[in-house]
Amino acid sequence: MHQANLAQRHVLPARDRALDILSAPMRAQTWRATAFNLASLPIGLVTATAVTVGLSLGVALLPVLVGLPVLLGVLAASRWLAGTELRRLHWLDGRTRRPAPSQPRPEWTWPAVRARLADPTSWRSAAYAVIAGPLGIVTFTIATASWAYAAAAATEPFWNGDGGSGRLLGFVAERPVDHLAITCAGLVAFFVAPWLNRGAARAHAALADHLLPTRHR
């Protein structure tokens, strides 16, 4: 009896894992992660470009002191962008992240300016904004490549209906068994793509949690 119960406990987790794999393409979590990965490209490119240009301009104008307000403005904008990203991460995984307390109204005294320029929270937010550009390229590529391959390969018999010679990602299909292999590969990719997208989104969120000053509750 004890051995039967032990075997059943091993069977149930295996069955749950199999159901999780088979249902992954239909789960809201999968498509939420996919949408997050796709949106990361335009958002990341805009924020990375704006912050990089702003920081470069501020540093270049430091000798004439005009760079100080430019740098302060870029750092303040970086903190605002960090708060926006935290809301996007909450939409992704449902975790509540409290941003760092907002800074008081700026005082144009040298000690106050120096304190704002030395604020590590602002610089970490700026660093994340810069990294968001290449990170968005990676996650967008994973999302588009995984789903595009799965769709193209799984539907190969439909768009290559004459059964003639075809090519997909360098693989030449000339025999019926070749077309069958492409279709099977597409079906497998259809169940692998959700995990690739979820993993990419989780890695993105982990990097944000590491760089952005947050507290979880």
- What is the reported pLDDT for 98? 77
> For the segment 8-38, what is each residue's pLDDT rounded down to a tens digit?
555 557 777 777 777 778 899 999 999 999 9
| Side-chain-side CA neighbours of residue 92 (13 Å) | 26
Residue of 27, 92, 87, 80 lying closest to 54 (CA atoms): 80
Whole-number Å distance between alpha carbons of 96 and 204: 16
Domain spans, the chain: 31-216
pLDDT band at 103 (very low <50, low <70, confident <90, very high): low
> For the segment 176-198, what is each residue's pLDDT rounded down to a tens digit?
677 778 788 888 999 999 999 99
pTM: 0.81
Whole-number Å distance between alpha carbons of 140 and 38: 5
Whole-number Å distance between alpha carbons of 110 and 100: 23
Task: Specify whether the CB–CB gap between 163 and 176 falls below 8 A.
Answer: yes
Instruction: Examine the pLDDT at 2 and tell me if it is beyond 50.
Output: no
* Proportion of the chain above pLDDT 70, given as a percent: 78
Task: Specify whether the CB–CB gap between 159 and 112 falls below 8 A.
Answer: no
- What is the reported pLDDT for 201? 97
Whole-number Å distance between alpha carbons of 82 and 102: 11
The tokens for 133 are: 């550009």
